[in-house]
Structure 1
Amino acid sequence: MAREIPDFHGPHVAPPLPGHLELTWYEPAPRAPRIRVVSHTRECRGTTYELCSAAGQGFVRRTDREKQTVHETAWTLTAVARHTFEQILRGEAR
C-alpha cells in the first residue's frame, strides 16, 4: 500500500494587497534556548517566513536572503502569531 508523503515545501506567499498591514520587524533577540518552526513558506523566493514557537509564545521570522537579514515580529500569544502568519500568506500583511 502506497503511503502519501506530505508537502514539506510550505505554501507560497501571496503578493501584498493594496492597503496591507505594515508589520513592525525587530532584530532577533536570544530569548529562549530552543525555537521550534511550526510552519514555513516555500524557499523558492528571496524572502521566506516562518511561524515560530518558543517559551510558550509565538512570532513570525522573516529571512531576506538577498539582503542577508533576519527579523521577527514581537513575541506574543501563539494564536496571535498564527493569525499574523496567515495574514502574511494571504498578502494582507507585510
Structure 2
Amino acid sequence: MIRWDGFADYHGQHNERPKPGHLVLNWHEPSNRTQRVRVVAHTCECRDVVYELCHVAGQGFVRRTDRMEGTVRETAWTSTTVALDTFHRILLGQAR
C-alpha cells in the first residue's frame, strides 16, 4: 500500500523565467481535433500557468493553461520530436 501523505511536498518540474531574447511562441485556440490526448509531461500544478506536452496519433503539441486568465492555448501540432524540443525550451526559459 502507498501512503500518499509522504508525497505532500512533491512538486513537478518548474519552468524557468523567460531569458532575454527567448523564442516567442504562437499560441492558438485548442483545435479539438480529437477526443483523446495523451499528456506525456507537465509542469508543476503549484503555478498559475501550467504547460503540458501532449501527443496524439504520432503528432505533438504543447498546451498552456493559465488559471488566472481562465484560458487554454496550444502550439501548432507538429512532430513529437519538435513538440518535445519546444517543451524543453519552455522549461529552460528559452521559449514562452
TM-score normalised by L of structure 2: 0.87
Work out which of the residue numbers 13, 26, 40 in structure 2 matches 1:24. 26
Give the partner amino acid of 2:31: A
Query: How many positions carry a matched residue from both structures?
Result: 88
Mapped to 2, the partners of 1:29 and 1:81 lie a distance apart of 16
Instruction: Determine whether 1:44 maps to 2:46.
Output: yes
Aligned pair in 2 of structure 1 residues 9, 54: CA closer, same or farther (>3 Å)? farther
The Cα offsets for residues 39-62 of structure 1, whole Å up to 9 and x where unpaired, read as 000011110000000121000000
Flag structure 1 segments of 5+ consecutive residues without an equivalent.
Answer: none
Structure 2: runs of 5 or more not aligned:
1-6
Paired-residue identity, %: 61
| Cα RMSD (Å) | 1.3
List structure 1 segments (4+ residues) > 3 angstroms apart after TM superposition: none
CA displacement at 1:92 relative to structure 2? 0.1
C-alpha distance in 2 between matches for 1:52 and 1:91: 19
Paired residue type of 2:77: W
Query: Is the CA contact (8 Å cut-off) linking 2:17 and 2:93 kept in structure 1?
Result: yes
CA separation in 1, counterparts of 2:12 and 2:59? 22
The SS at the match of 2:82 is helix
Deviations, residues 15-61 of structure 1 (Å, cap 9, x unaligned):
00001000000000111220000000001111000000012100000
